[in-house]
Amino acid sequence: MTHEQAEFLLHQVYLPQIQNESETTRRVLQAVPADKCHWKPDEHAKSALELAWHLAASEMFFLNGVAAGAFTPGGGGMPENIKAPADVVKFYDENLSKAIANVSAIKGDALTRNVDFFGVFNFPAITYIGLMCSHSAHHRGQLSTYLRPMGSKVPKIYGGSYDEPIQVPARAQQ
């Protein structure tokens, strides 16, 4: 991939996708009921709060790693100050714009340079942005399956849901 292709991919595909997807992620995070945030569907699963944190924190991890040109080991799990879904949303709101801005400033040569991912992968930096989008969609979908069993409503994600149907304009219904 050329530097120009990587810049095109970042600015014309990934950044608009991240902006759009972040609104959906935020709605799913907000839908986690505070009084049931420790619920999990199975003893081996993450709790809703742990999964919400993983979803939000991993986006910053990927974006910041790409911006820095290196991934550093995580902070050892969920911080002590994350007690409720609102704390996760606050973290997400406070950090996402800055992380996106840092990635937006990257030039083509840095986007095509290989970045080591703890000896597991060694891909061009731009590849990790696509991986982040897929990773987030996966965990957002996983978290959305927790919502109804916890007594919450499932927001629209890629189209309407039972709880938040798409409003079709009258002219399109003909």
pLDDT tens digits, 113-133:
999 999 999 999 999 999 999
Distance between CA atoms of residues 83 and 8, nearest Å: 39
The tally of CA atoms less than 13 A away on the side-chain side of residue 36 is: 16
> Is 61 within the bounds of a domain?
yes
In a domain, residue 80? The reply is no
pLDDT at 168: 82
The helix (H) or strand (E) run that includes residue 121 is strand 121-124
State the average pLDDT for the chain.
94
Cβ neighbors of 57 (< 8 A, separation 6 or more) are 74, 78, 91
Total domains in the fold of the chain: 1
174 is a domain residue: no
Residue 147 lies in a domain: yes
74: pLDDT confidence band, cut at 50, 70 and 90?
confident
pTM recorded for the entire structure:
0.93
Answer yes or no: is 173 within a domain.
Answer: no
What is the extent of the structural domain holding 35?
3-74+86-166
Statement: residue 172 has pLDDT above 80: no
pLDDT digits (tens, 9 = 90+) for 134-149: 999 999 999 999 999 9
**Structure token pair of residue 74:** 């995580």
**Interatomic CA distance for residues 49 and 70, integer angstroms:** 28
pLDDT digits (tens, 9 = 90+) for 53-72: 999 999 999 999 999 999 99
Q: What is the arithmetic mean of pLDDT over 93-100?
A: 97
Gap between the Cα atoms of 156 and 70, Å rounded: 34
- In whole angstroms, what is the distance from residue 28 CA to residue 173 CA? 28
Domain with 98 in it: what CATH number?
Answer: 1.20.120.450
Does residue 81 lie in a domain region?
A: no
